[in-house]
Amino acid sequence: LALVSSAKAVFIAGGIVPQLKDFLADSRFLARLRDKGAMRPVLERLPVRLIENDRLGVIGAANWYLEHADVD
């Protein structure tokens, strides 16, 4: 998906991120993500970030409300 959408970065977020942090550090996730043949140089420059914010859902909901609320 990162290649198809011309992403500038990959962000992983959600309630499971704290449990994934150590797993991802010790796994082959990054190696597998980047092992895409001719696209490897592009993917090696693509940062992968974990978002550790337990209020992310509330922040997103508030942002959606502010953008879509009919405030007169």
- Does residue 35 sit within a domain? yes
Q: Which residues pair with 48 in a beta bridge?
A: 10
* Per-residue pLDDT, 4: 77
pTM for the model: 0.67
Total domains, the chain: 1
- The residue range of the domain holding 54 is 10-68
Note whether residue 64 is domain-resident.
Answer: yes
For the cut 70, the answer to whether the pLDDT of residue 71 exceeds it is: no
pLDDT surpassing 90 at residue 33: no
**pLDDT tens-digit profile of 39-61?**
899 889 999 999 998 898 899 99
Q: Does residue 2 lie within any of the structural domains? A: no
Does the CA dihedral 25-22-14-66 come out positive or negative?
A: negative
15-43 burial code (b ≥16 CB/10 A, e <16) = eebeeeeeeeeeeeeeeeebeeeeeeeeb
Given a contact cutoff of 8 angstroms between Cβ atoms, the answer to whether 3 and 39 are in contact is yes
